[in-house]
Amino acid sequence: MSNSEHLQIEKLARIKDQVKNGGGEKRIYEQHKKGKWTARERIGYLLDSDSFVELQPFITSRHEVENGESYNGDGVITGYGKIAGKPVYIYAQDFTVHGGSLGEMHGKKIAAILDLAGKNGAPIIGLIDSGGARIQEGVASLDGYGQIFRRNVLYSGVVPQISVIMGPSAGGAVYSPVLTDFIIMVENTSHMFITGPKVLKEVTGEELGPEVLGGAGIHSQKSGNAHLVKATEQEALEALKTLLSYFPEHNQQRARLSLNKEKTDNLRPQLLDIVPSDSKAAYNVKRIIEQVADKGSFMEIHEHFAKNIVVGFARLKGEAVGFVCNQPKYKAGGLDIDASDKAARFIRFCDCFNLPLITLEDVTGFIPGVKQEHEGIIRHGAKIAYAYAEATVPKITVILRKAFGGAYVALNSKALGADIVYAWPQAEIAVMGPEGAASILYGEEIEGAADPTKIKEAKISAYREKHANPYAAAALGMVDDVISPEQTRIILIQALEIMYNKHEERPKKKHGNMPL
């Protein structure tokens, strides 16, 4: 090897060392002082050992070159690797280089890795830690955002897209994460907002800290932007690994069977005692999920947002499924605006990536009130009906107790396209609850009776016997079978096995027009 070749190899080694050093030791120290890992440390922890292959490490901002500065990589690390043997594409913003701000070349790098993920059919992961647009690059930085947004949309429903907010995500930067399928945030160190605290104070006079304005608590409980929140970066990345295990690499695949599947499909007598005999009494639907699903397999999504509905991934005999369940512990399991949005979004993700849907229903109806009506419960509630009717994956409903009114129809009824609907013996399926129905149908008779209470109870009982029971619905073909609660796991497993090759054609169209 000639001296010239030796010099070139030494130069390459020096440049790669500089790239790996990010913005320098001082800035790395400051990053660690905040309790945050560097971009490379995050990638190293997340991906399988020695699987990461970096792309475009020598890209440099034209603006920096013009001003005598040069940071190879331009503040973002991109490449591909594996997680538990599954291929993934990844980008990680490096806060030690210009605060992870997005400039022209930074944006082009992310757009390029998104294209590779879409073309090759593998999940895309974004580790977000950015101060926003690089102001000194002007409109070119805004164009970079547009390039990313377009690809987020283009590959939506093609490959899973997950964003982990591991620092600030401000201004235009917030739109890429929210266009992806899932957002994971870290307590105290990750923030998302369109307008940061300084600008907010300047424009409106309000003084709010970043945590109050756009911290993990706000986005997981109030805005609903964050699907998962973890205390540390390590826990957030572990949650990402678990999340990825439930779905396939792209939309033409089925999720892999779990190697740790629970082989038993025996009776679950505990299910006989979870739902109270009093139809007004609350209970925790998660106890039912735990009995039906493989042990320890349930991963709840949006746990702290719209608690009156529970959604999440689980496995039945190793097969990944999506659960959508009313939660009687909160608002009697009724549907409101937030619950409708939460459920519809989850249903559509499952349909995109071939995950069967299991609905556990116990719903009083859509929550009434002026506030809900004026804020658009009609439009938002229609999203659930749209999502279920649109979905072509296997769809199974189990009516646990109450199924009233329009909410019954919207929650994967036979009329809406459910493949199989089961009901437990105590299920009440009707236009409205027996108490309300009796008051409307027999109001004058009850008021004029010598003993109104006695007459009302008799009318309620008669209505329940004639109309609000699963056998009346089964007689009309709206319920396929009335099953004992303890058989639920066995029957669901059998149904999923028989529908494994389900295929359903829909009218050809560009796309539907969901009531957004």
Residues 466-493 pLDDT 10s: 767 898 899 999 999 999 999 999 999 9
> Which pLDDT score, from 0 to 100, does residue 16 have?
54
Reported as a pLDDT band with limits 50, 70 and 90, residue 1 is low
Return the sign of the alpha-carbon dihedral for residues 435, 439, 441, 444: positive
Marked catalytic residue, from 144, 172, 214, 215: 172
Return the sign of the alpha-carbon dihedral for residues 445, 451, 453, 455: negative
Q: pLDDT tens across 245-294, in order? A: 999 999 999 998 887 777 677 899 999 999 998 888 999 999 999 999 99
Lowest mean pLDDT of 14-23, 73-82, 460-469, 471-480, name the range. 14-23
Q: pLDDT tens across 114-123, in order? A: 999 999 999 9
Residue located via tokens 């359903």: 504
**CB neighbourhood size of 189 (10 A):** 21
- Classify strands 309-316 and 228-230 as parallel, antiparallel or unpaired: unpaired
CA dist 495 to 262, 354, 480, 488, Å? 17, 16, 12, 11
Domains of the chain: 3-244 (3.90.226.10), 269-432+469-498 (3.90.226.10), 434-467 (no CATH)
Marked catalytic residue, from 173, 407, 410, 423: 407
Q: pLDDT tens across 176-194, in order? A: 999 999 999 999 999 999 8
Residue located via tokens 């998962």: 228
Q: How much is the mean pLDDT over the chain?
A: 90
**Count of residues in the chain:** 516
Marked catalytic residue, from 157, 318, 406, 417: 406
Residue 406 is a catalytic residue: yes
Lowest mean pLDDT of 273-282, 299-308, 313-322, name the range. 273-282
> Which pLDDT score, from 0 to 100, does residue 14 have?
54
Provide DSSP, 173-213: GGHHHHHSSEEEEETTT-EEESS-HHHHHHHH-----HHHH
Residue 407 is a catalytic residue: yes
Which residues have CB under 8 Å from 174's CB, separation 6+? 192, 193, 194
pTM: 0.92
Angle at 17 (CA atoms; ends 190, 233), nearest 5 degrees? 20
Closest CA to 334 of 359, 358, 309: 309
Rounded Cα distance, 22 and 262, in Å: 45
Q: Are 40 and 77 in contact (CB under 8 A)?
A: yes
Reported as a pLDDT band with limits 50, 70 and 90, residue 66 is low
Q: What are phi and psi of 37, to 5 degrees?
A: -85, 165
Residue 318 is a catalytic residue: no
Residue 216 is a catalytic residue: no
Marked catalytic residue, from 75, 81, 131, 171: 171
Residue located via tokens 């009995």: 291
Helix (H, G, I), strand (E, B), or coil: what is residue 63? helix
Bridge partners of 204, per DSSP, are: none
> Which segments of 329-375 does DSSP mark as H helices, in order?
337-352, 370-374
